[in-house]
Structure 1
Amino acid sequence: MARGFSEFKYLTFDVVGTLIDFESGITNCLAGIAAETGVAIDGEEALALYRQARYMPGAALFPDDLARVYTVIAPQLGLPAEEKYGVRLRDSASVWKGFPDSAAALAELAKSHKLIAMTNARRWALDHFEKKLASPFFATFTADDTGTEKPDPAFFQKVFDFVSSRGDSKDDILHVAQSQYHDIGISRALAMTNCWIERRHAQKGYGGTIEPKHFTVPDYHFNSMADFAAAVRESLKERT
């Protein structure tokens, strides 16, 4: 049985895909390049190709790796495989938007919990993402800070060590994320309580996120950050 929200001191968040709409960011950039070069592309096809290319051996850290990814997928989409377009896709991360409900939900949740960002993105990208989200985080961890990417348990251990330095433990954390592969499965394996934000509930497939080998039933499940924040709000009201 899931614990009450008031039992947690920290809410840890995946950022890209949970709070920042990276799929629209990527497809909008590719659509812009396509329009300029007289090509039409299918967004879901582009995301499927992106997903395959992103997880090829030897991939660089995100979103720097988007420059390489573009050169891999461009020929398959009928786009020009020129370096300048790869750089453009990489740099588009600086203008990716948060989901419409992200900033408001985080602002509300920050009133009752300490929020921690856990992102596979590099620090330069998180600096931009935080501005879109109105800087709600108590602490942040990036691939630059951890030297690894989720679902590597070592990434999570960095966060455990941080909360431990404050006299707390992983039992004080509720991990919130949309990726079954990067977050929900591994958080369960690490005996964390988790919350799945199913951003693609109205769409088929996994979009730009790698498909997990096994689906993990989460402790909490919501279709949006707005729904999650509302549930926390109501839960806390019941305790007062």
Structure 2
Amino acid sequence: EVLNGQRDRYHLEKRYIHRNGKVVWCRLAVSAVRDPEGKNLFIIGICEDITEEKRAKLQIQAALQEKEVLLREIHHRVKNNLQIISSLLRLQADQIKSRKYARVFKDAGSRIQAMSLIHEGLYQSNNLAAVDLKQYLHNLISNLFHSYGVNPESIRANIRAEGIRLNLDDAVLCGLIINELVTNSLKYAFPKGRSGEIEIHFSQTRKYTQLRVSDNGVGLPPNFDFKETQSLGLQLVATLTDQLQGKIQLRSKPGTTFIITFPRSEP
């Protein structure tokens, strides 16, 4: 300890070549001790061999890079496999003459595509632990509009998810929920070429994440109870909300609004 004086410390890590030809890493630490007037009193220098420490760090970095490459490859392959299944279902739908059963295959393909886009987003992301939600939603809605032949100038999609990031499990569940609710709006909310707007809005507090999916369409029938409905899509929404450990609210007139609140989990 220096009383009434100053101590300046300098350190650096440097690589040397030993006379036997091996690389040696050293940590050099130098402390200059000065009197109250700033005059040097003495200098303390320490040289420490950190070759093993450096080697261990390099091994850890190499292992992490290998793990990241493998994870990206897994997401890439899962995405490809899901897209193949989705394409097969859509091709099968084109061969079915019954519009009712063709729609079943098309809806199944859309659900699989919603999961596929999650893995595609992670494959392209700099962060393999979290999903870029805004970009994912834009891709998801664009695919749904294309699948159902929607004119984006007639029905607009308003997405608000800035700064929201979800872990993989929550993102997959939310993606499937949004897929079902937006599909429902495209099918029923805007009959006979009616124009309108669909809104997907995410918000977060310290403890909770809230998803709001709404449209300004014709609304639901009076006394509609989504918990008792025979609609597979809405039954799926209720089941997925339970998996999120969340709660769901329904508001109708004007239009239709689903509000899903669930505990926030960090990516």
TM-score by length of 2: 0.23
* Higher gyration radius (CA): 2
Q: Between the two structures, name the one with larger relative contact order (CA 8 Å, sep ≥ 6).
A: 1
More strand by share: 2
TM-score by length of 1: 0.25
